[in-house]
Structure 1
Amino acid sequence: MTVIVEPDHARAERLAASLVPQPAVVATLAALHDHLAHHLGEDVVVLGPSVDLADALTLSAQMRLARPSLGVIVVRSSLDTSLLVDALRHGVRDVVADGETTALRDAVRRAGQLAHEIRCRSTGTPDAAERGVVITVFSTKGGCGKTTLACNLAACLADGGGADVCLVDLDLHFGDVAVVLRLLPARTLADAVPHAIDLDDAGVESLLTRHSPGLFAVPAPMDPMAAETVDADVVARVLRLLARRFRYVVVDTPPAFTDHVLTAFDQSDLVALVATLDVPAIKSLRHTLDTLEALRFPRNRLRVLLNRADSKVGLDVSHIEETLGLPIAAHIPSSRDVPASVNRGVPLMLDDPNHPVSRAIGEFAATHVLPLGRDANPRIPAALRADRRRLIPLRRRRP
């Protein structure tokens, strides 16, 4: 249900008459708080043009934390870019010009649908099961092969069109997904910013660049300056819509705990932490785990991937696992074929599914990612279909 806040009686009646079903109407924000305390099922709050803008933005910021499913819509007599940016930063779902009846109805409908989705996800109802799986690939250590692994994992899950997969580049300033996949994107994540408040399925579809059957990407901005316009709320909205559209969403990240990365973690079903066999990388991963523990991120959603795991450098894997307090979920071997595939712009997973690197990534996907999906009988990646017997020991090793 919807509740309107508007001190002016005539304006309140006009706003209420434009909405079906008939909304509740209150005159002050104090009355709104009292109403919400007694009506926990409200989905949308419409703040009329007579409500002070600063008070409206403060309310929206408060509701984003106190009642995340509640959508706040602000109606203003005039709109400008500054207003839209401020509204976005404060968590306002939509800003509508006064008198735009159709726009107001559409905004209320979208906010109501999003409220329903958020509640379904938090309560685990059947609608939430329709959401795709979000996997974030992360490391605070540069040069560990994180982007290459993310690209190959996405290609593995897409498996020649067997599933729709989207790869999102959240390294907004220096992302390499477009380079690694040799993409020439017409749109990037920055193009979501002007439409963030009313971004819908069609809008997020326009951000996609197709790489191969089943594999799409939302690249990072080509201009590093444009990255400054993309805030965490935009990222959250895009990831929610992508998870509705795709069976799997793989998120590549910068080597730092930015607001964008923390937002991706909040949306993720699984976080793949990448490390290599060197002391600085293991120390960095240990600090990462400590940080995630301080943030109370669920430990059962974490997986450690050891890249270039066959390097003979004097480090024992069992000691690494003891140091981290987590088992290694995947051992990815070293190979010169990996940088060669990057230079060709074709993930090794697509170029040679039977390559040892491809098979290791396929094993990780089959063991840790596919069981999270919404399919009762997920398709086995091509890297493993040639020898189904390899899946048997995998299941025995699964934590």
Structure 2
Amino acid sequence: MTLLWDADPTASDRYSFALGADIVRFDNLATATRALQEYVNDPLLIIGPEVDMQSACDLSDFARVERPEMGVVLMRRRLDVTVLAQALRSGIREVIPADDLTALADAARRSRELSSKVAGHVGDAAVTEGRVVTVFSAKGGVGKTTFSTNLGAYLASKGSKVLLMDLDLAFGDVAISLQLLPQNSMSDLIAMSGHLDAQGLASIVTRHESGLDVAAAPSEPSDADRIPGALVGEALRVARRAYDYVVVDTPPAFTEHVLAAFDVSDLLILIATLDIPAVKNLRLSLDTLDLLGSPKESRVVVLNRSDAKVGLRAEDVVAAIRQDIAITVPSSAAVPASINRGVPIVLDEPRHAVSVALRELADRFIRVQPAAGSPGSKADEPKRSERWSLTRGSKR
């Protein structure tokens, strides 16, 4: 099978003479990026002549890290030194004229031969990827950071290698909630954009006494605007190869950083509380995720402070959001007290009802490999080409 990135619906037929009939076509960068993660047995990617050069190079950079055995062949309507230099720097194997099908067939053959040799070496040391879990709510004050820090600390306490990434880049509270004084933060990744590796990521994390690694938000809110969404995606892809679990704390908004995290997440934990604004925002969030093509199987809805006597019941929330609540977490003054001490309650008071609920959330939906059709399962995900891009909002 050959992967083809070309917006022209007739491109598969046009290139079938050179590439064969078994072609899977994608029409945008986000879809093509996902395809490289799904079609892991297909070593050849052809990029059509109408794809802009920067996007083609971005995808090739991604493939060079995530799929080193994959060959990328670029078609251009005009060849010049600048194009060839950019292609070389991005790891593109060959650049060929767009109207030369014979050259395309030859380039595809050479690339497949090289890929088969490279795959023999890559396969000797298979890489196991960790799970990316994003905690989100479109309303502030529902407990996202409390959930993120406690889930991360609990997973780390079980012997797993865990990274907690604070994507509330302007006003993140992960570090202060754990009473950490980070020397580095997410803003230090900017200089490594495009060539970030595990060593570079390790240079900006701060270790918590639980064994949890934390990638803290910048200390200056203005630094958030300097961090592109693409860098967040790059950091998460590197992190999942270095850690068993990556837990992502988020701001209460669909920012480009949050959408980048959604794109690579295996599980979304969506939090609500028993108040009308939180329920309304959760309903809108679910509708937005449906529109963006996020699979329902990868979502878990959690009701925090579920025992609050405020005239709204869990049943009312279920009716409003039209989705079951997976876990209910009671309210307790012990939670803010644990935050003030900088010790996650799941470790400090393991028998507390809140701790029991948080452990259940981790054990049921994060630590175990989910069965097909359950939250976090990829078995029932729609084909990538049938989904929507989370980062661009275009149909796949």
Normalising to structure 1: TM-score of the pair?
0.65
Matched residue, 2:111: none
Tell me the amino acid that sits aligned with residue 138 of structure 2.
T
206-215 vs 56-65, which moves further: 56-65
1:145 is matched with which residue?
Answer: 143
Contact kept? 1:132, 1:373, Cα under 8 Å: no
**Residue 193 of structure 1 pairs with residue 190 of structure 2:** yes
Post-superposition Cα deviations, 1:66-112, rounded to whole Å, max 9, x if no partner, equal 99967889xxx99xxxxxxxx9xx9x8589xxxxxxxxxxxxxxxx9
CA contact (8 A) 1:138 1:272 kept: yes
The answer as to 2:39 corresponding to 1:41 is: no
Match of 1:340 among 334, 337, 354: 337
> What is aligned with 2:278?
281
Partner residue of 2:263? 266
1:9-28 to 2 correspondences below 5 Å: none
1:328 aligns with 2:330: no
Code of the aligned partner of 1:348? I
Counterpart of 1:361 in structure 2 is 358
2:391 aligned residue: none
Q: State the distance in 1 between where 2:126 and 2:52 align.
A: 34
In the alignment, the residues of structure 1 paired with residue 164 and residue 349 of structure 2 have an alpha-carbon distance, to the nearest angstrom, of: 20
| Compared CA separation, residues 272 and 237, structure 1 to 2 (3 A) | same
Cα distance in structure 1, aligned partners of 2:237 and 2:57: 19
* Correspondent of 2:160 among 156, 160, 163: 163
SS in 2 for 1:331: strand
The 1:289–1:64 alpha-carbon spacing in structure 2 relative to 1, beyond 3 Å, is farther
Q: CA deviation at 1:137?
A: 0.2
The Cα shift of 1:65 comes to 11
CA deviations 1:187-238 (Å, max 9, x no partner) are 1111111012221111111121100243111001111222222111111111
Q: How far apart, CA to CA, are the structure 2 residues paired with 1:43 and 1:198?
A: 21
Change (3 A) 1:206 1:311: same
Query: CA 1:187/1:330 → structure 2, altered by over 3 Å: closer, same or farther?
Result: same
Q: Which residue of 2 aligns with 1:246?
A: 243
- Alignment length (residue pairs): 295
> Contact between 1:247 and 1:373, CA under 8 Å: does it hold in 2?
no
From 202, 213, 238, give the equivalent of 1:216.
213
CA distance, structure 2, for counterparts of residue 62 and residue 201 of structure 1: 19
> Is contact 2:60-2:90 (8 Å) kept?
no
**Cα distance between partner residues in 2 of 1:198 and 1:234:** 10
Secondary structure, counterpart of 1:266 in structure 2: helix
Q: d(CA) in 1 for partners of 2:247 and 2:59?
A: 31
1:42 offset after TM fit, Å? 4.3
Q: Which runs of 5+ in 1 are unaligned?
A: 1-32, 46-53, 79-86, 96-111, 121-125, 375-399
Deviation at 1:372, TM superposition (A): 2.7
TM-score by length of 2: 0.66
For residue 55 of structure 1, report the CA deviation from its aligned partner. 6.7
What is the CA distance between 1:43 and its match in structure 2?
6.9
2:309 and 2:177 mapped to 1: Cα distance?
27
Q: Structure 1, residues 120-169: CA drift from partner, whole Å, max 9, x if none?
A: 9xxxxx957x211111000010111111111111112112x521111100
Shift of the 304–373 alpha-carbon distance from structure 1 to 2, 3 Å rule, reads closer
2:261 is paired with a residue of what secondary structure? helix
In the alignment, which residue of structure 2 is the partner of 1:295? 292
Q: CA separation in 2, counterparts of 1:65 and 1:296?
A: 22
**Matched position secondary structure for 2:218:** coil
Say if 1:198 and 1:319 are closer, same or farther in 2 by CA, change over 3 A. Answer: same
| 1:307 counterpart letter in structure 2 | N
1:303 partner letter: V
**Change beyond 3 A, Cα 1:355–1:166:** same
- Give the residue type in structure 1 aligned to 2:148: A
Pair 56,215 (structure 1): closer, same or farther in 2 beyond 3 Å: same
What is the CA-CA distance between 1:353 and the residue it aligns to? 1.0
Amino acid at match of 2:181: L
CA contact (8 A) 1:196 1:234 kept: yes
Distance 1:72 1:185, change over 3 A: farther
2:352 counterpart of 1:352: no
Secondary structure at the counterpart of residue 194 of structure 2: coil
Distance across 2 between alignment mates of 1:186 and 1:71: 39
Indicate the residue corresponding to 1:25 in structure 2: none
Task: Please report the RMSD computed on the Cα atoms of aligned residues, expressed in angstroms.
Answer: 3.8
Give the Cα separation in 2 of the matches to 1:136 and 1:245: 17
Query: Taking every aligned residue pair, what percent have the same amino acid on both sides?
Result: 43
Is the Cα contact below 8 Å between 2:136 and 2:249 reproduced in 1? yes
Where 2:326 maps in the other structure, the secondary structure is strand
Any conservation in 1 of the 2:350–2:356 contact (CA below 8 Å)?
yes
User: How far apart are 1:317 and its partner, in Å?
Assistant: 1.3
Residue 322 of structure 1: how far off its partner (Å): 2.2
Distance 1:354 1:276, change over 3 A: same
